[in-house]
Amino acid sequence: MDFDLTQEQKMFQDMAKEFAQREIAPIARDLDRNEKFPHDLIPKMGEQGLFAIKIPSEYGGMDLDWTTLGLVAEQFGSVDFSTGLTYYIQTSLEAMPILTAGTEEQKKKYVPALVQGKITGCTAAVEPNVGSDATAVETTAVLDGDSWVLNGNKTWITNASVADFAVVVAQTDKSKGHKGIATFVVDKGTPGFSSTKITNKLGCRSTDTGQLFFRDCRIPRSSQLGPVGKGMSTALTCIEHTRFGIAWMGLGVTRGCLEASIKYCQERKQFGKPIGSFQLVQERIADMLVDLEASRLLVYQAAHLKDKGLPSTREVSIAKYHNIEVAVRATKTAVELHGAYGYTDDFPVERFYRDIIGPLIFGGTANVQRLLLGRMILGIDAISR
Ligand SMILES: Cc1cc2nc3c(=O)[nH]c(=O)nc-3n(C[C@H](O)[C@H](O)[C@H](O)COP(=O)(O)OP(=O)(O)OC[C@H]3O[C@@H](n4cnc5c(N)ncnc54)[C@H](O)[C@@H]3O)c2cc1C
């Protein structure tokens, strides 16, 4: 495994760092306070080519590697996890399902516009009664002539109320279990399809999260995304890509906390000395550094495997599980080291502290990661029915 970044990877890393400092850092607090979706940032990210990294050139992309995408996600995570999430899912949960299962026509319709940041989308798997048990899908899709008719509710969907289209996981025949599951693309404005925003979230407040409702929503048969029976595998493939990005953003949050804490501990004085001169404070900083470097090695390993086209489910799960647990610890430490000042949104560590709880839940909960790893290690399935 080569730890040296290529010129191109460094260029994207620098570009993302500069973009995050110039465009995201100055507005992150306002976006968070007011639960504002960063509409203006999406086309700007598109102009800089940031959505193009993992997209094939025939759909307006640059055909680059996973490491580059991860490096960009880390930079955004180190400044604002919530905006980073909005950025990352434009590739992983919006373009990827279409690229994984779509027809040529579907790819041409959606992917170039996503790359340019002209549209946004969402992927809707979870429902009010369907969370970790993802295959228990209750939303139905019934074939009627040349149309599919969708009925059901989706909830906790990132981008629900701002998306121009939704990739929807639905059950076509309950008796077939997961073999009856299919995915569909539904455009905003389709009769019978509506959405609402979920407000007052603990964190990731600038990320749009919401519900989707389908009431006798009739879509053309050509809106089917891949074959019936493959819907769950399309969704899981894209969720794994999302986990990968979340792990990199977790690394970014830990780094953001460490950098903020170093600065604060060098400047803040108590007992006549910088608080960084106290051994107990140095211990906390040293522990954060060790966690940071371990997180970095895990995402580099996952990216290395993905870039080689080798199986990486295990390594991506390990990285997501570890890097978010570690980032939770780092945010808590950073808030403590900032004392009372870390208890308000005057310092970004307070936002990091709230935002990092979300990825303990989405992309598969921490328990789900443990169960996936347990199944791989023991060969015993403790998660399926
Ligand atoms: C901000 C945010 C954005 C999201 N974005 C999306 C999105 O874009 N698309 C989408 O489809 N979904 C999205 N989700 C939903 C997310 O994927 C689910 O919340 C997640 O899968 C967990 O489901 P649940 O919330 O229903 O929890 P549940 O599955 O009900 O779990 C509750 C608790 O029980 C535990 N648990 C459940 N089953 C087991 C088991 N077998 N063994 C041990 N413990 C278990 C869980 O680990 C958890 O701690 C998002 C969620 C949030 C919060």
* Ligand 1 within 6 A of CB of 90: no
* Ligand 1 within 6 A of CB of 125: yes
Q: What is the pLDDT of residue 175?
A: 96
14 and 98 inside one domain:
yes
180 and 288 inside one domain:
no
**Ligand 1 atom, smallest distance to 207 CA:** 1
Q: What is the pLDDT of residue 383?
A: 87
Residue 274 lies in a domain: yes
Mutation test residue for ligand 1: of 122, 169, 365, the one with most atoms within 8 Å of CB: 365
Q: What is the pLDDT of residue 185?
A: 98
Residue 2 lies in a domain: no
Q: What is the pLDDT of residue 384?
A: 82
Mutation test residue for ligand 1: of 120, 122, 156, 184, the one with most atoms within 8 Å of CB: 156
Residue 88 lies in a domain: yes
Q: How far is the CA of 316 from the centre of ligand 1 (A)?
A: 18
Give kind and range of the element (H or E) at residue 269. Answer: strand 269-270
Distance CA 328, CA 205 (A): 17
Domain boundary among 230, 255, 276: 230
Distance CA 67, CA 16 (A): 13
Domain boundary among 120, 137, 171: 120
**Ligand 1 atom, smallest distance to 201 CA:** 1
For residue 360, give the nearest of 284, 208, 260, 253 by alpha carbon: 253
244 and 285 inside one domain:
yes
Residue 383 lies in a domain: no
181 and 270 inside one domain:
no
What is the identity of the amino acid at 41? L
- DSSP characters for 165-190? EEEEEEES-GGGGGGGEEEEEEETT-
Closest C-alpha residue for ligand 1 atom 11: 125
267 and 330 inside one domain:
yes
Q: How far is the CA of 47 from the centre of ligand 1 (A)?
A: 34
238 and 365 inside one domain:
yes
pTM for the predicted model, two decimal places: 0.97
57 and 95 inside one domain:
yes
Residue 221 lies in a domain: yes
Q: How far is the CA of 8 from the centre of ligand 1 (A)?
A: 36
* Per-position b or e across 40-68, b if 16+ CB within 10 A of its CB: ebbeebbebbbbbbbbeeebbbbebbbbb
Distance CA 208, CA 122 (A): 10
* Ligand 1 within 6 A of CB of 126: yes
Q: What is the pLDDT of residue 2?
A: 80
* Ligand 1 within 6 A of CB of 158: yes
Distance CA 190, CA 316 (A): 36
**Ligand 1 atom, smallest distance to 203 CA:** 1
* Ligand 1 within 6 A of CB of 372: no
Residue 91 lies in a domain: yes
**Ligand 1 atom, smallest distance to 134 CA:** 21
* Ligand 1 within 6 A of CB of 124: yes
* Ligand 1 within 6 A of CB of 374: no
206 and 328 inside one domain:
no
* Ligand 1 within 6 A of CB of 132: yes
Residues of the chain with pLDDT under 50: none
Tokens of 225: 């995304």
* Ligand 1 within 6 A of CB of 157: yes
Q: How far is the CA of 366 from the centre of ligand 1 (A)?
A: 9
Residue 1 lies in a domain: no
Domain boundary among 174, 196, 230: 230
Q: What is the pLDDT of residue 385?
A: 78
Beta bridge partners of 382: none
**Ligand 1 atom, smallest distance to 126 CA:** 11
Distance CA 269, CA 122 (A): 47
The answer to whether the Cα torsion of 160, 239, 365, 202 is positive or negative is: negative
- The count of domains in the chain is 3
- A 10 A CB-CB count for 100 gives 18
Distance CA 232, CA 384 (A): 14
201 and 268 inside one domain:
no
Domain coverage including residue 24: 7-120
174 and 265 inside one domain:
no
Closest C-alpha residue for ligand 1 atom 16: 362
Q: Output the domain CATH number for residue 325.
A: 1.20.140.10
Residue 313 lies in a domain: yes
Which phi-psi region, left, alpha or beta, contains residue 363 (left: φ > 0; alpha: ψ -120 to 50)? left
274 and 331 inside one domain:
yes
Q: Output the domain CATH number for residue 166.
A: 2.40.110.10
Listed in order, strand segments (DSSP E) in 88-180 are 121-124, 140-144, 147-158, 165-171
Contact 54, 66 (CB under 8 A): yes
Q: Output the domain CATH number for residue 31.
A: 1.10.540.10
219 and 270 inside one domain:
no
Q: What is the pLDDT of residue 201?
A: 98
For residue 359, give the nearest of 310, 264, 295 by alpha carbon: 295
